[in-house]
Structure 1
Amino acid sequence: MTDVLFHHSEQSFTWGSGDPVLEVFLEPTCPFSVLTFNKLPALLADAGKDHLQIKIRLQSQPWHMFSSIIVRYILAASTLVEGQAAVQAVMQSVADHREQFEFIDHCRGPNLHTTPEQLLKRLAAYSGVDVRDIFDQTNLQDLVKRQAKYARQNGIHVSPSFMVNGLLQPDMSSQDTVEEWMHKLGLG
């Protein structure tokens, strides 16, 4: 069951089907990850869906204090029949409403009074994807652990990080333009 869940979840995080394979490690509330995430559709459009494969990897980070809850929610969304669209909707809603999912300076502000249940309600309301009824599935822990293990095995510690065909790309950045990414990927 876990392998089936993992396979479906993996498909939900994959855009395009070509080569090269760009893996992007993102923490959903990180402003630099948001900048990266928002450029990915344009990158795929410019490259062509048959000429690039993008795989989103979730990189939970403890200084983003709601990170683990949001990552688990996104992973739950990835298991739905419409997983890819659900993942995109949840990640975009977090990107568009970061202030509702992040602390000021990672430690203060109105979100200090936010409970996990309130956070789940916000995620459902902003994204239109309600996975609260499956949020407590035990198998989701396996998906969370696989994301963390894969990042660690590849030396990924921060977001955003980029890998191309399995190799870390320290010269790629969220600050790059889509055109610069295309060039670095050998597509432009």
Structure 2
Amino acid sequence: MSTNPTLHADPLVWGHGQNLFEVFLEPTCPFSVRAFNKLDALLAEVGEENMTLKIHLQSQPWHLYSGVIVRYILAASTLPAGKSAAKAVLQAVADHREEFEFAGHCAGPNMDATPNDIINRLEQYSGINAREPFAQPELQNAIKWHCKYSRQNGIHVSPTFMVNGLVQADIGSGDEISSWAKRIQG
């Protein structure tokens, strides 16, 4: 019998209404950041009783530290604060995106950064220490789940939006929150 309990990643879900709005985000993508920064206002406008918001992490290899950052966010979701801790890390990345991204996806100061530098920044900016779960091999199960769910739904880029299980290719991060709300409420 193992003395290490199995990690449980808290689902990144807010609200409990019948209308489902799913967002696939890569944390360092500027368009994903724009979408992420609208989600609280969207939930407030539509109402938690009227919609369920789910965030799925869409790691993308051209965002060179994407895998490290997604792993840290999901590691944070295994902490006692669960999805709130994960959201704090997402917000820290959104607020300090340049600290986690490369110029033109291939140049700039982050060329000299190590994965540990990125983890240090994530902890510093978010106040969330997720180092212990980050180092657990079984965390890859949560990462793989996000990846598989995206692929099963034909999601390849971020941000991508789904309403009630259907991909909405015409919804974009630049849309007004009221536009998203109308689509969700049908």
Contact 2:64 2:105 in 1 (8 A): yes
1:134 match: secondary structure? helix
Encode CA deviations 1:63-102: one digit per residue, 9 max, x unaligned: 0000000000000001111112101110000000001000
Give the TM-score of the pair, scaled to structure 2: 0.94
Contact 2:78 2:133 in 1 (8 A): no
Structure 2 portions without partners, runs of 5+: none
Give the TM-score of the pair, scaled to structure 1: 0.93
Question: How far apart in 1 are the matches of 2:75 and 2:132?
Answer: 10
- Offset at 1:179? 0.5
How many residue pairs get matched? 182
1:171 match: secondary structure? coil
Structure 1 portions without partners, runs of 5+: none
Question: How far apart in 2 are the matches of 1:105 and 1:45?
Answer: 35
- Alpha-carbon RMSD: 1.3
- Segment of structure 1 superposing worse, 145-154 or 164-173: 164-173
Match of 1:156?
Answer: 155
Q: Map 1:126-137; keep pairs closer than 5 Å.
A: 126-137=125-136
Question: How far apart in 2 are the matches of 1:163 and 1:58?
Answer: 14
Match of 1:166?
Answer: 165
- Offset at 1:5? 4.1
Encode CA deviations 1:131-184: one digit per residue, 9 max, x unaligned: 112211111111111110100000000000011111111111101010110111
- Offset at 1:9? 2.0
Identity of aligned residues (%): 55
Contact 2:7 2:133 in 1 (8 A): no
Match of 1:141?
Answer: 140
Match of 1:9?
Answer: 10
Q: Which amino acid aligns with 2:30?
A: P
- Offset at 1:30? 0.2
